[in-house]
Structure 1
Amino acid sequence: MNDYDYFLHHPGDEFVEAVFLDGWDYQSLWGWELGYYFLQLWRNDLPDKPFLWITPVDRPLPWSGCVALAMMCATGADPVSVSRALRILAPPAVQSPYAVIQRELAENRRHASDDYCAGQIDAYEWALGHRARRPGSGLAWSGGVPTHDDVTAEWNINTGRLYEQAVMTDKHASGVDEALSTVIFTAIGKR
């Protein structure tokens, strides 16, 4: 079992897996069925009924990031813990994305005339450790350069916001999505 078994899961491939989040790991499940993801969260200290149960019929979750967002909001866990519990972190980095970040940041600063570019700038500056807020979740950031897992987890939450809350027209969030995916895929050698 790896923290990245379900990174970029292809919607349509049915599965049911345990959720490995401390305090929620005895009975909690997530998976894909009926065209969407589902999530059942059971608190370990209250095992008689689910704390949260999202079915494809009740609330469609089209991407694994939507599951991560719902889980983060329900449990109060941080994005990395949630992404690790669902095993949707990116595979380990094989190279530094620093040069690509610097190049993309400079390019976006030259064309920073819209919200899309502003979203990319926010994400790239956060990836360099220059922002006090995470660009996707909006959570406070203690500073410093985020780890590869931090970037992936933030991308998962931002993707969840984009797809589940139907804000695909949110140019800023779309810019964040593009920038964080560039950082991740550069780091894992897929760009």
Structure 2
Amino acid sequence: MPTVDRASYRNRGGFLQRLISAYKARRFFTKVGANLVVKASAEFRVVDHAVLEVGDNVTIQDYSFFQLTMPEPKVFIGNNTVIGRRSIITAKNRISIGNDVLIGSDVQIIDHGHGMRRDMPIRLQKADIGFVEIGDDVWIGAGAKILMNVKVGDGAVIGANSVVLTDIPEYAIAVGSPARVVKYRD
């Protein structure tokens, strides 16, 4: 009898996992492809008019946190994409994640920031709102942060604990804080 790798994200789970995924799909998502896996501990805070769409074979791991808040939040996740444990995706405008994307644990993807004018406390200022666009076949290492107004090109690799503040070209390997391109995939 072959051994089952229960630790792999490729393990789609059993009957109870399918029930949990189906409930969360109906409750929080506006469009869902086939074979969505959402772990029980994944948390969603979503305003009524938010758009949260995922393609086929998407896995959202344990303790992931999605926050889609005012004014017009939209999150699009392509086919065969994995959101790692304890990752945070927070949108006020638009975050798009392509097909075949692997997002490691503890990754943060954020499309907005705080205003920082000097004439009033930061907590009272309106948010600066942008976007995040992540292409296809991207690997984002554990602990990385992708901040607003950034495009990560197809095939790019973002190193663990990197902070992405500017666009990353296709097939680039970027590391550091702030992230910078160190080479390109072969």
Global fold match (TM > 0.5): no
TM-score range, shorter chain: under 0.3
- TM-score, scaled relative to structure 1: 0.24
User: Higher helix share goes to which structure?
Assistant: 1
Q: Which has the higher contact order (CA 8 A, sep 6+)?
A: 1
Higher strand share: 2
